[in-house]
Structure 1
């Protein structure tokens, strides 16, 4: 059973028709992606919910990842959210979040568990309130040990957001920056967006001109820690030096949104959420949403599955909203066509599909059969606006498609 997750991920990532060097890189990424990647998802749920326009009674099919967006969507009052993921660590994290939302005694204990995520009291709460209601597979995962021998649940006592593939990547970025006499945490001292711009221009932007940084970021494996496989690396680079692309994306993160509104910047520069009661948080972690998220948490169905396979097993006209994150960047034309054939079969009138891409344009034109793509209307102007307002800043495009009337 231990090998099964790797086969699922490899099937999604490895390009069997590629050259041997590319296949080896793909397999290396599949191995890296086997463990926890995202303790926090890096797609903006506020933009998501506006684009999806969730209505009471909607059924949502989404990729789970770290679960922040899955549970934030509950604020929109859907009837059900079917969340799928190929990564068993993400599945275990989503199960843990669902039980913790339902069983922790109050908002303060929930906030300490998932916002602060660095207190020994969280482990006591896990044992008292969460563990008795957690499924056996997820319990074994959290009480098991990681590659360096630490019990995974203890991450909630020592800073969960410093762990996982992305957390480790950000930690390495901080270390490399300090080696070049740059303390990324100083960015969080900015009081205005003008101060944020000054720090970026004087401290962060020149960092990407250093020869070592330009060399290391030119290696496709260098971005595995961001959850970016080799195929997506090429789309992200789009023929440009990767250091320049990353500088532009970091500039948006650092300069386009005030710190008091952007928790993604706190994660990037502080490796945590902000401490104050007014610190920016995903909707599911906000105090004003706690009661409705708790009461609706049972509406989340979590599956270790491929999105296309899950939809193929679903009834016709059974979903209203679909969220694919950036997974389509990993797909070939055959896989894309299979996915969208199932989306079109299972879509109810007015269905909406939201996804992100590393490059700016939508990847569907020219890759899906015209007859299939013609069933969907691309909201071009709205998609550009969502892209501009996506606070995570890492993606080139946020794309919305709406099913045309029959």
Structure 2
């Protein structure tokens, strides 16, 4: 004790640590959970009708219902967020929550949309005990527009006669006459209304790709839920899609409290009255072998300025381009292309571009700037849940839901090239070049940038040092930093492209030195080269960034141009077969192909590119062998620039840039 103290702080700290209110709450929570589990697993469902069976099942656990289900019913929040995102600009709405239980959905919805936007909210349930909980909650929360109705959902209609939103939150699988309740809900759904469903499920034997399950999983989960009179078969969703048009869906799986390893399958589905179109479905895609589990590029690595000089982009164009970082696909729309199809075989690249597209559609400029200009957003989790996830495809959602930390640690230090940039920045600091890198990135003029570059001791040594020592040094650097593994996973340079560089008789270290020195001597990084400014700093500047991150470009895209972008995860030639194009951007794709595959591509280009149409590509080779193949297929081929003739463009990473025009009259 000592110093005149009585020891109470020590005792109080001990009491707080070992007998705190939080610990008592945790004990109480576990006790409530065990009550729920006991009635779920061992309780009998007694009663002569459905209402009595529901009461016998839910009545004893009603008080603990919400806390337990919050860690079990994972589809509720995404379903409510998806509905709210599509209703954000409406008012005086009517919402009917069928099987709404304790009214917890209303409380959750308040996070996504102002409840005052609803003229009336009807929580409809057949279980008396759950309705009583909902009534107490509505009174405690002061919800004047919330009405708890103890009734059969198959017979309920809102007094107003129409509803803007109808939801089934883990209730449709517990309503035996599901045809009747769906028909009844549709009968009062307004013409522009939505139906939202979240529930457990198993797929059919033959189902849509993103829903499909193996037979053992189907049998296991359907049997487990059947014990509690819950039918999670595919029939309910099939009937929904017979009566309504699917707008959006997600299929996923979530953990179960106190049951390790098992994850229960659930889906979220949003539908509306059928329109003249038809609902598309998403194909299941996998990344190709040898690709990393993330994207290689966070930005496009082809300078769009020389592209625009030769492509003659106009509103009648249908353009096919490879995705890469997606910046140039968005630039094509800003430059006036009528339709742009962006394709990549790596689903992670598609996920990046799809996120950019949805962000432009759903967010304000400042949020988009923070995400993709700064590469960091302090509220990314909230923005993603409320405004981005509700509009992403399932593949993209699966990718981003596990990688939101990219926007906390810096987007442009992620992926293959991002990690390479981060490593090189760290190495620069270790060898004492950290300040030099900052001076290079922020040089106010090109002349100052050249002085910083040429005065650097490593650059000076490489350019003017003893030849033997320079040779030993560059060979060591090449072995460590420019080996095939680093070039592929960090720079996206495959083995076939590496072979083209060697075929020109250029060592890889000299190829890279030519690239870097050309940029440093000829392109002002701070003012007019956002590619390398991003590499050096991990971000863009507002006056030095891709077109979609400039306010004018963003406004044009958000004003409707971005709707003309199709993001496809597919192999290039498969997407080329899908339609006729007036412009095709091959990037360096043909460098990756065997010559016989390049022959197939050239023949396909001849069939799918309209007469007079333009094809452009870049190559790591000074004279790519497939240029003649494309010429013989029916194109006038012209080399625009070559690296052996000097600095090429702001990226300066390729050896040649080509354009080919499809022979024939445009009117043919």
The TM-score bracket by the shorter chain reads: 0.7 to 0.9
TM-superposed CA distance for 1:363, in Å, is 3.6
Per-residue deviation, residues 358-387 of structure 1 (Å, max 9, x unmatched) = 123344245x27631xx211233x445999
Structure 1 match to 2:348: 89
Instruction: Please state if 1:69 is matched with 2:328.
Output: yes
Match of 1:235 among 478, 486, 500: 500
Q: Equivalent residue of 1:379, what SS?
A: strand
* Structure 1 unaligned regions, length at least 5: 11-29, 145-151
Residue aligning to 1:361: 623
**Deviation string for 1:143-187 (max 9, x for gaps)?**
12xxxxxxx122123210011100001111222333332222331
Q: Retained in 2: the 8 A contact 1:362–1:399?
A: no
Selected match of 1:155 from 406, 413, 416: 406
**Is contact 1:123–1:156 with CA below 8 Å preserved after alignment?**
no
Q: Tell me which residue corresponds to 1:26.
A: none
Give the 3-state SS of the residue equivalent to 1:392 in structure 2.
coil
Return the match for 2:529 from 243, 262, 266. 262
Tell me if the contact between 1:355 and 1:400 (Cα under 8 Å) persists in the aligned partners: yes
Q: Deviations over 1:298-352 (max 9, x none)?
A: 11111111111222243xxx21000111111111111111111111101112101
Task: Choose from 283, 286, 295 the match for 1:5.
Answer: 286
SS in 2 for 1:120: coil
Task: Tell me: CA distance 1:194–1:370, structure 2 relative to 1, closer, same or farther (3 Å).
Answer: closer
C-alpha displacement of 1:38: 0.7
Partner of 2:87: none
Aligned residue for 2:660, secondary structure, equals strand
Aligned to 1:126: 384
Q: Structure 2-normalised TM-score?
A: 0.52
Structure 1 stretches of 4+ with a deviation exceeding 6 A read none
1:189 paired to 2:453? no
Alignment RMSD: 2.4
Equivalent residues, number: 366
Aligned residue in 1 for 2:451: 198
Q: CA deviation at 1:236?
A: 2.8
Q: Within the alignment, does 1:335 sit opposite 2:586 as a pair? A: no
Aligned-pair distance for 1:218? 5.8
Cα distance change, pair 174–379 in 1 and its aligned pair in 2 (3 A)? same
Kept after mapping to 2: 8 A contact 1:39/1:164: yes
2:595 and 2:626 in contact (8 A); partners too = no
Distance 1:285 1:306 in 2: 28
8 Å contact from structure 1 (residues 119, 158) kept in 2: no
What is the rounded CA distance, in whole Å, between the counterparts of 1:97 and 1:112 in structure 2?
12
Task: From the superposition, tell whether residues 395 and 377 of structure 1 become closer, same or farther in structure 2 (CA, over 3 Å).
Answer: same
Give the Cα separation in 1 of the matches to 2:325 and 2:641: 24
Cα distance in 2 between the residues matched to 1:387 and 1:57: 35
* Gap change, CA 1:370 and 1:57, over 3 Å in 2: closer
Find out whether 1:107 has 2:370 as its counterpart: no
Counterpart residue number, 1:301: 566
Q: Which is greater in Rg?
A: 2
How far apart are 1:216 and its partner, in Å? 2.5
Instruction: Structure 2 unaligned segments of length 5 or more: list them.
Output: 1-208, 211-283, 463-469
Q: 1:390 to 1:370 in 2, by over 3 A?
A: closer
TM-score, length of structure 1 as denominator length: 0.83
1:81 deviates by 1.1
Deviates more, 1:168-177 or 1:156-165: 168-177
The answer to which structure has the higher strand fraction is: 2
